[in-house]
Chains A and B, each alone.
Chain A
Amino acid sequence: MENTNSLKMVNVRDWRMGFSNLFKVASGSFWHTRSWIVQSLLWLLLFNGTVASVLWTTTDILNRSAYPDNLTSMQIIGEDPVGNALLIFFVFASMGLPVSAIIKGQDAINSERKSGTAAWVLSKPVSRPAFILSKMFAGALSVFITGVVIQGVIIYTQLSVWTGSPWPVAGFLGAMGLIFLNYMYYLTMTYMLGSFFTSQGPVLGISLGLALIGPAMVRGLPVINDITPWSFFLPISEDIPPGIAMFLGQPTSLIVPFIGTTLMCVIFTAVAILRFRREEF
């Protein structure tokens, strides 16, 4: 029998202990199965399908090269078929991805807590932050690739081909980044809630409730605008939402809600980790 003294010991001692192994397995269950194809097709249909159905079927637009510069107000966007299609895309992207984050995230901790696999894994040299972060990052990466990168490339190509010139790339990338940040907000919040509640009801109820009534809260309490992604894309005033303005290549200011939302993602994650550190099995 070969002497297994040649095996190299893992030498990580901090929060990263067990992270790469857990991340590999969590990612593998997505990328090594048909899940990624199903999810990519779903987002393709929902996001690019909506835009394509307008771009390639509307025949009465004569000056395609005027886009996106001609979309200068919410009123124009609302009346323009292409503007409308883009609006629907952003509504789907800013609602569809969060709903998937909530559905997938709400059970990520609880299912393992209930089945006993969490206790098994945590009896190995695994840090509790690694347990949470590996799942969170694997989930985020899966959506980043299938829901943001793949869809982004296709929609960018569609728009550029349709207008006959490259769509403003910087604003486009910024807007896609905001779509992902919006997703992360709900993902991290769901993990935080999942670390507190042992049943799915409160996690789903609070997350979905906030996703659905969030924009209305921004109207009522403008200060929330600064620490949530709710104002990125949803038209809650007469102005073009800053995320859509960015997408159209128009000047806009998003620095405060961007920093505030990012900070909230970090806080949600930190709270989830702190709470999970105190979990007993």
Chain B
Amino acid sequence: MFDQSVAVNINKEETAMDPSNSIVIETHDLSKAYKGTQAVSSLNLTVKQHSIFGFLGPNGAGKSTTIKLLLGLARPTGGSAQIFGYDTQRDSASIRKRVGYLAQDPRYYEHMTARETLRFTAHFFYSGPRAGIEKRVEETLELVGLSDKADRPIKGFSGGERQRLGIAQAQVNYPDLIILDEPAASLDPQGRHDVLEVMERLRKHTTIFYSTHILSDVQKVSDTVAILDHGKLISEAPIEELLNANSAPVFTLGLRGETEKARLHIASLPWVSAIQARPVNNHISWEVTVSDEGLAETQLLPEVLSGGEVIVLDYGRRKVDLEDIFLALTEGDQNGKH
């Protein structure tokens, strides 16, 4: 379990951003092709300071490639990217001094212990004093709940412990930006919860850019999301905006009886946009999408019952969540292609 009592301490003098510049990451038509395969295509992203930016996409969408481009681990075949105003290709070193990174499948020197790994990482950023570095290592171990395993070799670590160590090493230098590639993918529900909590706490001090395909996590902590599919940006917006823009009210009903006649009647109402009907066990389930929420709330149920030929078994309203939007956008994109 992550230690909640450990506060995050920031070296403000060294890491503070220029307050006039609230954009942390900016890409302009960023593209990457591998031997004819377009991994990332004309990507335009803007990530603001202190945001938790969820970078979503199915496997192979180009998320990890984008992250590698941002870190200077790969070279773009087109476009450019800036972090803290520095070009990711020309000034990669200046960027990496202020960034913490957790890879999708983090690998460390297996013979080292967690403490040695954090000490090794810290020495890329700090030259001393030794006591200060040791203290920082200890704090970081506590933050991710690895104090009791600090002196065991990493080769015996579980996937979750490796991930915790990954988060620890990514923020041992109080980075202005933390880039996490699928940080919760290999964790159990408790581990995921802990990771999200740490991210939430770090938000005050840093900007977090993370890729994931676990949509419920994104909805919990992110304030902005970008959806990537086949290397292309499909959508980028604050999460509330994205949910609201795609949140046409949907009412659900479970029915028995002459439902087809009732369905035709409901479909003819001007405030009903669509009805999806499907058999479920011994009854029929409807999803009714409406354009006027007020009218639907007062009139949908009476209208369904007006013919007297159906029995309503259950009635409710379904909220659109990020998964619906994600599926609609990515499937829509795929349908458009094929």
Which A residues lie at the B interface, using CB under 8 A?
Answer: 1-11, 13, 17-18, 21, 24-25, 29, 115-117, 119-120, 122-127, 280-281
The SS class assigned to the A binding surface is loop
Q: Quick check: A10 and B126 within 8 Å, CB to CB?
A: yes
CA–CA, A125 and B129, complex, Å: 19
B residues in contact with A6, CB < 8 Å: 129, 132
Closest to A10 in B: B127
Cα distance A1–B9 in the bound complex, in angstroms: 9
Among candidates B101, B107, B139, B174, residue contacting A1 with C-beta atoms closer than 8 Å: B139
Q: A21-B124, A24-B123 are in contact. List 8 more A-B contacts (CB 8 A).
A: A4-B9, A4-B135, A10-B123, A10-B127, A120-B107, A123-B71, A123-B101, A280-B75
B96 at the interface (CB under 8 A from A): yes
**B residues within 8 A CB of A122?**
73
Residue on A nearest B109 in the bound complex, by CB: A117
User: Which 5 A-B residue pairs are closest in the complex by CB-CB distance?
Assistant: A116-B107, A123-B101, A124-B124, A281-B73, A21-B123
Measured CB to CB, the closest approach of chain B to A38, in angstroms, equals 16
Tell whether, in the assembled complex, residue A116 and residue B105 are in contact, meaning their CB atoms are under 8 Å apart.
yes
Measured in the bound complex, the distance between the Cα atoms of B61 and A199 in whole Å is 28
Per-residue CB proximity of B196-233 to A under 8 Å, as 1/0?
00000000000000000000000000000000000000
Contact residue range for chain B? 35 or more
B232, chain A: closest CB distance, angstroms: 21
B residues neighboring A (CB under 8 Å): 6-7, 9, 11-14, 68, 71, 73-75, 93, 96-97, 99, 101, 103, 105-109, 111, 120-121, 123-129, 132-133, 135-136, 139, 174
Q: What's the nearest-Cβ distance from chain A to residue B235, in Å?
A: 28
Decide: A9 near B106, CB < 8 A? Known: A119-B73, A280-B74.
no
CA distance A116 to B127 in the complex (A): 25
Residues of A within 8 A of B7 (CB): 1
**What residues on B are CB-neighbors of A3 within 8 Å?**
9
Pick from B71, B93, B108, B128: contact of A17, CB under 8 Å: B93
